[in-house]
Amino acid sequence: MKSPHGAAGDDARDPHGETLPRLLRRRAAEHGAHDFLRAKRHGVWAATSWAAALARIEALARAMIALGVQPGDVVALVGENLPEAYLVQYAALCAGAAATHLYPDASAAELGFVLENSAAVLLFAEDQEQVDKVLQLPDALAALRGVVYLDGRGLWDYDDPRLQSFERFVGGAPDDAAARAALDARIAAASDLDLAALCYTSGTTGEPKGVRLTHRHLLDNAYRLVASFGIAPHIDYFSYISPAWAAEQFIGIALGVLAPSVVHFAEKPETVPTDLREISPQFLLFTPRQWEMIASQIEAQMLDAKPLRQRLYRWAINAPANLRWLADALILRAIRDNTGLARAQIPISAGSGLSAEIFRRFHALGIPLKNLYGSTEAGLVSAHWDGDAEPSTLGRPLMVAPSVGAALELRIAADGELLVRGGAGFAGYHRNAAATAKVLDAEGWFHTGDAMHMLQSGELVFLDRVKDMRRLANGAAFPPQTIENHLRASPFVRDAIVLGDETRGFVAALINVDAGIFGRYLESRNVGWGTFAELSQLDAVLECVAREVAKVNAMLPAPSRIARFATLPKELDADDAELTRSRKLKRAVIDERYRALIDSVYAGDERCELTVSVIYQDGSVGTVRAGVRILSTDAAAVAA
Amino acid sequence: MSPGDALGRPAVEPAAAAPRNAARHSAARAAAAVDRVLEARDLHLSFGAIQALVGVNFHVAAGELVSIIGPNGAGKSSLLNCLSGFYAPSSGTIRFDGRDIGRASPPRRAAMGIARTFQGIQTYPSMTVRENILCGCHCRMRTGLIAGALWWGPSRREMVRFVDEAEAIIEFLELEPLRHTRVGELGYGLRKRVDLGRALAIDPKVLILDEPMAGMNADEKGDLARYILDIHDARGVPVVLVEHDMEVVMDISDRVMVLEWGRTIADGTPAEVRADPDVVRAYLGQE
């Protein structure tokens, strides 16, 4: 059991018990004329200064108070990332209320659930599409004091009295001394332990749960980034992920005020690539899927390029270190500029795992991509904020705000689960104490549900969700899919099957080597071969695979390491029913067809005479007979 | 709100627009009696021995969406060409905003606010979406060639204003991702949308659309119908639509006029026209 500690940050921007509205007012006083929000209107980037933003936020807050929004209430928002979504949340906080955002593609039922569960009193809906959803929900509608829409298009003949436009709502805000005093009183009376946002977890199992995020929690998490990454004031941030996701609450809403940052909004989801290029943000967070899309967009553009340019590009991303400057000047800088990542100081990938290959490709392009790990409940836990960004790790624990509490403490439980405590901590699920008790123990440890391994360097490596771990005969848990993914990330490995269950004493792997890559590898070493079966058993091949396995083992805790492996004498093939047509492993078929080999692996044999039938593309059936060698790794001795 | 504000959104208040659906037909009819924006009386047009229009009466009232339907050769395009000034009728009057415009040239009528789109594609393929839409503003420009070439004060201010208007149209028609794309690279449905945008750029008082949906697939038709309704509802612009797709016509029109062999055979609400025996005969044939 390990319990490494994070540290307290030393950045001066510690929130010191302030709430977001009080900080907001302070920032507006400090940076009044400086840009806060930037959005594209009528094809031109237009900025809202801190002073103008605060004026609008306070007008919105007074309008909310006039409508009867009370401290402790919840204001809901549904729509895309728009400057108004930020303003509304800040205004709700000023009025003493909290905000909950929904993804624009939320169904009417999901919207109904969130409105009911959060007991929202006011809904801001982006457009007709969102308004239509709430109009289908008579119960939810009855509980709302109003529905405010931002884009009136198509709503011309809607006559529900609770509907009103954003402009009319703000325009109707009282502006007298009493209204201003009431707002001042609310801002002064608020505590940083008040609820600031409710983020609903995706709810893959059962109904979504609303995670309570307090002002302290939001600001502590923003501080973790400020202090760990050393974020400079007025950094250009691109707001793209939805504020329904806790990450945007930390990185957008809270960091925007704490750093402060200049928050940019895309004109439309479809214009993101163009907008990104025009903004060229310094700080941005995308999910792995979005990074993959940017990577494939670059590849697609290079495919359209002239042959000479294509060759220059290939050379540039593989350029030796002493020629990096030349590759950078000729090619890479232009590509970074084209994708809008020329100034990206802190480009972050978070949400799930990004393949090592894509991660490395961005680094080869000179884009310092960083992994960030966190959960809605525990907040931001670790990131690549110091030292090298190793694609397979999630970096080291972040530094928390000293005024908030103890530094982050991490612990890996016996079953591999990561437990976290420290910082602002987890404030619990909204109106669901039973669910809170399941993940937050008496000692204050939050159980993440993620199985992790901690390297000697102190970096975290994600193994799997705890529920997807498999167990060995000795009870030790290991992450089969993660090990397979790590193996597959090697260019030499086309596919891998990880063996081991309650009847087996150690983890083993069957590896389908990549004939194309090894073909070139062997050619350069003047090694000849005939069939795939021969190639797979060559010394040079097995040595190379052994090195790849050792690399993967280095990423894993001892009980999960591959103790023995063999390379398959034929390629896994969908025609033989070993794979699905989308190249997913069919484990039961593989277990059956390679039974003899698997038994040999676990019997400790060094060789297995294997006979496997194959179906050729013309439908004829043949057999492959081959002697397969079985190798042991350093982990075998430990397992024994 | 100043135009330079990042938060300025087009705010269209419901009160500003005409009512729709059930209430719409009666309201439009009430308006029709008082406010005929464009009106043609007793139009006759012949090409040699062929009588294209025989005593056709037509009008569109403020806030009204009128469709003209009829078999091929019924005289629909001839009527539109008379309205927009491409054909001079042999007799009859055409009045716009109460004025007789029978002798006004097509460019003159466009400058008055009669906007029209044509069958097929009439956009400039080598120009971008925004440039095409800006072309629609041309007839409204007040500064001349020399001022434009010198790019001085008024000319420059005028350009900035028109670009802003073009951008508002781009936003309205949801063309933002394509504003700098050359129209020649776009598909048919999008080009028709640009064509519509250019017609909007003349700030029309009446919008005439000649078979805007010909050659479109169902999705594109649905999109365009949505935009036509939005123009009509949000901007209150009366629309004259010639269209073959009966489903669309019956769905979005306030009033439908049916032509056959140059004569009006029916004029009423979609429901009335659908039930009219002459229309049924013209469309389905007679036993």
A26 falls within a domain: yes
Domain identity same for A334 and A473: no
Chain B CB contacts of A274 below 8 Å:
177
Peptide bond into A208 cis (omega under 30): no
Look at residue B234 in the predicted model and tell me its pLDDT.
84
Q: Which of A465, A490, A516 is a domain's end point?
A: A465
Tokens 């909950």 map to which residue? A100
| Closest Cα in chain A to B8 | A41
Please tell me which residue, B147 or B134, carries the higher pLDDT value: B134
pLDDT in tens, A267-289: 999 999 999 999 999 999 999 88
> With an 8 Å Cβ cutoff, is B236 touching chain A?
no
Chain B CB contacts of A44 below 8 Å:
167
- Nearest C-alpha of chain B: how many angstroms from A226? 26
Question: Is the distance from CB of B117 to CB of B83 less than 8 angstroms?
Answer: no
Look at residue B257 in the predicted model and tell me its pLDDT.
95
- Which residues span the domain enclosing A604? 469-639
Q: Which of A159, A190, A221 is a domain's end point?
A: A190
Question: Per the CB < 8 Å rule, is A39 touching B6?
Answer: yes
Question: Per the CB < 8 Å rule, is B7 touching A37?
Answer: yes
Question: Per the CB < 8 Å rule, is A153 touching B9?
Answer: no
Domain identity same for A381 and A488: no
User: Coil, strand or helix: which one is B95?
Assistant: strand
**Chain A to chain B, count of Cβ pairs less than 8 Å apart?**
90
Question: Is the distance from CB of A368 to CB of A284 less than 8 angstroms?
Answer: no
> With an 8 Å Cβ cutoff, is A165 touching chain B?
yes
Highest mean pLDDT out of A55-64, A137-146, A398-407, B195-204: A55-64
Starting at the earlier edge strand, list the strands of the sheet with A346-349. Answer: A44-49, A35-41, A261-265, A235-239, A283-286, A346-349, A370-375, A379-383, A396-397
A494 falls within a domain: yes
Q: What average pLDDT is seen over chain A?
A: 92
C-alpha triplet B267, B27, B207: angle, nearest 5° = 65
Among A150, A151, A271, whose Cβ lies nearest the Cβ of B177? A271
User: Coil, strand or helix: which one is B131?
Assistant: helix
Backbone φ/ψ region at B32: left (φ over 0), alpha (ψ -120 to 50), beta: alpha
H or E element that contains A536: helix A532-536
* Alpha helices (runs of H) in A250-401, residue ranges in sequence order: 255-258, 272-279, 288-304, 307-317, 324-327, 333-339, 356-364
User: What CATH number is given to the structural domain containing A473?
Assistant: 3.30.300.30
pLDDT in tens, A372-394: 999 999 999 999 998 788 888 99
Question: Per the CB < 8 Å rule, is A151 touching B17?
Answer: no
Look at residue B2 in the predicted model and tell me its pLDDT.
40
Give the tokens for residue B59: 């009008």
Give the tokens for residue A464: 């799997």
Look at residue A586 in the predicted model and tell me its pLDDT.
85
- Nearest C-alpha of chain A: how many angstroms from B170? 8
User: What CATH number is given to the structural domain containing A354?
Assistant: 3.40.50.12780
A443 falls within a domain: yes
Question: Is the distance from CB of B95 to CB of B83 less than 8 angstroms?
Answer: no
CA distances to A79, A80, A114, A448 from A243, in Å: 10, 9, 15, 21
Domain identity same for A515 and A437: no
Domain identity same for A607 and A555: yes
CB contacts under 8 A, A 32-71 vs B, are 37-39, 41-44, 46-48, 52, 56
H or E element that contains B161: helix B153-172
CA distances to A70, A376, A404, A432, A447 from A427, in Å: 21, 11, 13, 11, 14
A36 falls within a domain: yes
Chain A CB contacts of B19 below 8 Å:
157
What pLDDT band is residue B138 in, cutting at 50, 70 and 90? confident
Alpha-carbon gap, residue A605 to A508, rounded angstroms: 13
Chain B CB contacts of A158 below 8 Å:
14
CA dihedral A552, A553, A559, A565 (to 10 degrees): 90
Question: Per the CB < 8 Å rule, is A167 touching B6?
Answer: no
Highest mean pLDDT out of A222-236, A547-561, B157-171, B271-285: A222-236
Domain identity same for A459 and A481: no
Look at residue B48 in the predicted model and tell me its pLDDT.
87
The closest alpha carbon to A372, from A407, A348, A341, A397, belongs to A348
Stretch among A49-53, A228-232, A404-408 having the lowest mean pLDDT? A404-408
Question: Per the CB < 8 Å rule, is B6 touching A56?
Answer: no
Question: Per the CB < 8 Å rule, is A152 touching B12?
Answer: yes
Chain A CB contacts of B177 below 8 Å:
268, 270-271, 274
Question: Per the CB < 8 Å rule, is A43 touching B5?
Answer: no
Chain B CB contacts of A46 below 8 Å:
3-6, 8
User: Structural domain tally of chain A?
Assistant: 3
> With an 8 Å Cβ cutoff, is B88 touching chain A?
no
- Nearest C-alpha of chain B: how many angstroms from A486? 39
- Nearest C-alpha of chain A: how many angstroms from B159? 14
pLDDT in tens, B219-243: 889 999 999 998 888 888 999 999 8
Alpha-carbon gap, residue B283 to B287, rounded angstroms: 12
pLDDT in tens, B2-51: 433 444 444 444 433 333 444 444 444 444 444 789 999 999 999 888 88
Among B14, B17, B176, whose Cβ lies nearest the Cβ of A271? B176
- Nearest C-alpha of chain B: how many angstroms from A288? 24
User: Coil, strand or helix: which one is A455?
Assistant: coil
| Closest Cα in chain A to B181 | A274
User: Would you list the DSSP string of A166-206?
Assistant: HHHHHHT---SHHHHHHHHHHHHH--TTSEEEEEE---SSS
Alpha-carbon gap, residue A183 to A174, rounded angstroms: 11
What pLDDT band is residue B284 in, cutting at 50, 70 and 90? low
The closest alpha carbon to A402, from A5, A7, A3, A4, belongs to A7
pLDDT in tens, A81-104: 999 999 999 999 999 999 999 999
Strands A195-200 and A210-214: antiparallel
pLDDT in tens, A139-190: 999 999 999 999 998 898 899 999 999 999 999 999 999 999 999 999 999 9
> Which of A34, A35, A38, A41 should one mutate to test binding to chain B, selecting the residue with the greatest count of B CBs within 10 A?
A41
H or E element that contains A482: helix A480-488
Alpha-carbon gap, residue B175 to B186, rounded angstroms: 11
Give the tokens for residue B171: 């936003």
Domain identity same for A500 and A562: yes
Question: Per the CB < 8 Å rule, is A157 touching B130?
Answer: no
| Closest Cα in chain B to A86 | B7
Look at residue A460 in the predicted model and tell me its pLDDT.
93
Look at residue A621 in the predicted model and tell me its pLDDT.
85
Domain identity same for A82 and A164: yes
Alpha-carbon gap, residue A556 to A446, rounded angstroms: 23
**DSSP summary character for residue A329:** I
Residue type, B81: N
Alpha-carbon gap, residue A222 to A251, rounded angstroms: 6
Q: Indicate if the pLDDT at residue B209 is higher than 50.
A: yes
Domain identity same for A341 and A477: no
> With an 8 Å Cβ cutoff, is A504 touching chain B?
no
- Nearest C-alpha of chain A: how many angstroms from B27? 13
Domain identity same for A452 and A502: no
Domain identity same for A285 and A411: yes
The closest alpha carbon to A470, from A559, A552, A555, belongs to A559
Domain identity same for A478 and A603: yes
Look at residue B12 in the predicted model and tell me its pLDDT.
41
H or E element that contains A235: strand A235-239
Alpha-carbon gap, residue A222 to A285, rounded angstroms: 13
Half-sphere exposure of A252 (CA within 13 A, CB side): 29
Question: Per the CB < 8 Å rule, is B177 touching A155?
Answer: no
| Residue A398 burial (C-beta neighbours within 10 Å; 0-12, 13-18, 19+) | buried
- Nearest C-alpha of chain A: how many angstroms from B19? 6
Give the tokens for residue B135: 């072309």
Q: What is the mean pLDDT of residues A602-622?
A: 87
> With an 8 Å Cβ cutoff, is B263 touching chain A?
no
pLDDT in tens, A288-333: 889 988 998 898 888 888 999 989 999 998 889 899 999 999 999 9
Q: What is the ipTM for the molecules in this complex?
A: 0.75
> With an 8 Å Cβ cutoff, is A84 touching chain B?
yes
Alpha-carbon gap, residue A85 to A118, rounded angstroms: 18
Among A42, A48, A270, whose Cβ lies nearest the Cβ of B168? A42
pLDDT in tens, A547-601: 999 999 988 888 899 999 999 999 998 888 888 777 778 888 899 999 999 999 9
CA distances to A332, B132, B136 from B144, in Å: 47, 20, 16
Q: What average pLDDT is seen over chain B?
A: 84
> With an 8 Å Cβ cutoff, is A304 touching chain B?
no
Among B13, B167, B174, whose Cβ lies nearest the Cβ of A42? B167
Chain B CB contacts of A160 below 8 Å:
none
Backbone φ/ψ region at B102: left (φ over 0), alpha (ψ -120 to 50), beta: alpha
Q: Which of A174, A190, A206 is a domain's end point?
A: A190
The closest alpha carbon to A60, from A31, A95, A98, belongs to A95
Question: Per the CB < 8 Å rule, is A41 touching B170?
Answer: no
CA dihedral A485, A487, A493, A494 (to 10 degrees): -20
The distance of Cα A420 from the centroid of its chain, to the nearest Å, equals 18
Backbone φ/ψ region at A154: left (φ over 0), alpha (ψ -120 to 50), beta: left
- Nearest C-alpha of chain A: how many angstroms from B61? 20
A234 falls within a domain: no
Chain B CB contacts of A42 below 8 Å:
3, 163-164, 167-168, 170-171
What pLDDT band is residue A485 in, cutting at 50, 70 and 90? confident
Q: What is the mean pLDDT of residues A20-33?
A: 97
Q: Structural domains in chain B?
A: 21-113+204-287 (3.40.50.300), 123-202 (no CATH)
- Nearest C-alpha of chain B: how many angstroms from A33? 14
What pLDDT band is residue A517 in, cutting at 50, 70 and 90? confident
> Which of B1, B9, B26, B164 should one mutate to test binding to chain A, selecting the residue with the greatest count of A CBs within 10 A?
B9
Among B6, B10, B168, whose Cβ lies nearest the Cβ of A37? B6
CA distances to A26, A390, A520, A521, B248 from A491, in Å: 53, 17, 12, 11, 56
Q: Indicate if the pLDDT at residue A538 is higher than 50.
A: yes
Domain identity same for A158 and A94: yes
> What predicted TM-score, i.e. pTM, was given to this entire model?
0.84
> Which of A37, A38, A42 should one mutate to test binding to chain B, selecting the residue with the greatest count of B CBs within 10 A?
A42
A216 falls within a domain: no
Angle between helices A307-317 and A288-304 (to 10 degrees): 140
pLDDT in tens, A492-513: 999 999 999 999 999 999 999 9
A402 falls within a domain: yes
**DSSP summary character for residue A103:** -
Longest CA pairwise span in chain A (Å): 91
Instruction: Mention every residue, 6+ apart, whose C-beta is less than 8 A from residue B104.
Output: B85, B112
> With an 8 Å Cβ cutoff, is B4 touching chain A?
yes
Q: Which percentage of chain A shows pLDDT scores above 90?
A: 75
A232 falls within a domain: no
> Which of B7, B12, B226 should one mutate to test binding to chain A, selecting the residue with the greatest count of A CBs within 10 A?
B7
Among B13, B130, B177, whose Cβ lies nearest the Cβ of A152? B13
> Which of A127, A157, A262 should one mutate to test binding to chain B, selecting the residue with the greatest count of B CBs within 10 A?
A157
